[in-house]
Amino acid sequence: MVEERHRPQSAVQQQQQQTLSTMFTAVLVGIVLGGLIYFLVQRNKNQVLKVEDGWWGAGAPPDGEEDDTIRPFKVNTSDEELEDLHRRIDQTRPVAALEDSQFHYGFNSQYLEKVISYWRNDFNWKSQVDKLNQFPHFKTTIEGIDIHYLHVKPKKVPQGKTAIPLIMVHGWPGSFYEFYRLIPLLTEPSNPDDLVFEVVCPSIPGYGFSEAPHKKGFNTVSAANIFVKLMKRLGFQQFYAQGGDWGSLITTNMAQLEPQTVKGLHVNFAPIAKPSIQMILSMMFGRYFPNLFGFNDMDVKGVFPCKEKMLVNVLKESGYMHIQATKPDTVGRGLNDSPVGLATYILEKFSTWTKGEFRNLEDGGLTRKFSLDDLLTNVMIYWVSECIIPSMRFYKENLGKGLNPPHTKIPVVVPTGIACFPDELVYTPELWAKKKFHNIVSFSHMARGGHFAAMEEPQLMAEDIQKFTKIVEKK
């Protein structure tokens, strides 16, 4: 028998084996990395916000089931209420304005006298109450407190169409009244090709005619949980949500709580609480290398110059926030007793938050975008409901424990539309928004408008809600 000899491998064979080994290793690493990435993405996608049901009523919760009755509600007034208001206005002590101060020191005292005179002598609250009652109001008890809301159904739904349920949530120092000119544009659109909406506008607990929480800790997640329950109680298994200011965060939390229930989210205020490394780098270098960070001309104009736009202006307009996030009851007691003090505190925001340059005007530009009747109606909602203190407490409950609560770490995966108004307090480029909202289907640079966009530019807002919802519905 001939002994078989092992021949040494040629250099070509060795190279082939090394190549195969390298390829095998690369494939294995790719599989592992791909699996890890898939796992992380799926885990990220499947993250939902968790919240336990609360009890915000006075005392301990009852032993039995909570009354889920839906009760009609109407805004009312009386001669006694108006007499008390007028007496308090008449007892206000005038304060001289500094020369050439405009709105740089807050609400200009000289112009305030004109607003007070109109409020005292010409403003017709009874007429405005009738206007408030043009839409159906209701109340229902959820987690121990009475929740007030409007529920406006379209008078006629065209054949072949279905009314789309939409909840719209206000912020501070606004109210459900912000949506009064917007609602008919959504429920009775003039364009036959437009979608028809069925609109629900609640008052945040502690605002307007919703009962204030009796216990500490009621934040945006608590409100979101209540509003999801409200929509389900009204029979909606899926719905759209829209909001600005606190309303944007509440509706965002709703989408995080139940991404299968919230079919689409539309917001007109989307500040990013937790900055990423990419966001910080884009703030440092995006002005010089905009293309590197995906910035367009609107982004560069909105973000830079960084110091002036995002620091100085924010500091000028955020003093109230520090007060309300720390000691809201102290200032609130004075505002709750003085209608003029309350109006001054609220209306100043409708000046400079609508357009920052309005602080250079003696009248604050208030009636350039709003009527005094509408502005004072919003103030009256705070006055007659005595809600200024609980509305201010909302800041302490949300900001008192830090700027990065658990919900800031959870992405929003539902289809999202963002309406970016040019005079908003904080500009958020789409690049930054994508870090939070992972499924942006519509990002609109609006032609004009500021913080109170639904009240200031209802037509533009309605058009953007239509555009966004049509995109989602087609998908």
Q: State the DSSP string of 411-450.
A: PB-S-EEEEE-TT-SS---HHHHHHHBTTEEEEEE-SS--
Per-residue pLDDT at 292: 76
Per-residue pLDDT at 38: 43
Mean pLDDT over residues 131-136, rounded? 98
Q: Which of 137, 170, 407, 451 is catalytic?
A: 451
Per-residue pLDDT at 403: 66
Q: Is 57 helix (H, G, I), strand (E, B) or coil?
A: coil
C-alpha–C-alpha distance, residues 442 and 465, integer Å: 10
Residues of the chain with pLDDT > 70, as a percent, come to 88
pLDDT in tens, 214-239: 999 999 999 999 999 999 999 999 99
Mean pLDDT over residues 155-163, rounded? 90
Q: Which of 180, 207, 345, 395 is catalytic?
A: 395
C-alpha–C-alpha distance, residues 137 and 154, integer Å: 15
Contact 339, 89 (CB under 8 A): yes
Reply yes or no on whether 395 is catalytic.
yes
pLDDT in tens, 256-265: 999 999 999 9
Per-residue pLDDT at 122: 98
Per-residue pLDDT at 453: 98
Per-residue pLDDT at 226: 98
To the question of pTM greater than 0.85 for the whole model, the response is: yes
C-alpha–C-alpha distance, residues 453 and 420, integer Å: 10
Mean pLDDT over residues 90-101, rounded? 94
Q: Which single residue is written with the structure tokens 């043009």?
A: 134
Checking if the pLDDT of 308 tops 70, the result is no
pLDDT in tens, 359-368: 999 999 999 9
Per-residue pLDDT at 37: 41
Checking if the pLDDT of 388 tops 80, the result is yes
Reply yes or no on whether 130 is catalytic.
no
Contact 204, 223 (CB under 8 A): yes
**pLDDT class of 27 with cuts at 50, 70, 90:** very low
Q: Which single residue is written with the structure tokens 């049509």?
A: 470
C-alpha–C-alpha distance, residues 258 and 54, integer Å: 17
pLDDT in tens, 334-349: 999 999 999 999 999 9
Domains of the chain: 70-134+318-381 (no CATH), 135-271+403-475 (3.40.50.1820)
Per-residue pLDDT at 295: 80
Checking if the pLDDT of 32 tops 50, the result is no
C-alpha–C-alpha distance, residues 168 and 384, integer Å: 23
pLDDT in tens, 455-471: 999 999 999 999 999 99
Q: Which of 148, 177, 207, 245 is catalytic?
A: 245
Q: Which element (helix H / strand E) includes 70? A: strand 70-73
Per-residue pLDDT at 303: 75
Contact 102, 114 (CB under 8 A): no
| 348 vs 427 pLDDT, higher one | 348
Checking if the pLDDT of 126 tops 80, the result is yes
Question: Strands 262-267 and 440-445, how do they pair?
Answer: unpaired
Checking if the pLDDT of 116 tops 60, the result is yes
Checking if the pLDDT of 47 tops 60, the result is yes
**pLDDT class of 396 with cuts at 50, 70, 90:** very high
Question: Strands 197-202 and 145-152, how do they pair?
Answer: antiparallel
Checking if the pLDDT of 413 tops 50, the result is yes
Residues of the chain with pLDDT > 90, as a percent, come to 72
| 178 vs 403 pLDDT, higher one | 178
Mean pLDDT over residues 125-141, rounded? 98
Per-residue pLDDT at 19: 59
Reply yes or no on whether 146 is catalytic.
no
Mean pLDDT of the chain: 89
| 291 vs 332 pLDDT, higher one | 332
Checking if the pLDDT of 6 tops 70, the result is no
Per-residue pLDDT at 426: 87
Least confident of 59-63, 86-90, 271-275, 397-401: 271-275
The highest-confidence range among 46-55, 199-208, 275-284, by mean pLDDT, is 199-208
| 46 vs 465 pLDDT, higher one | 465
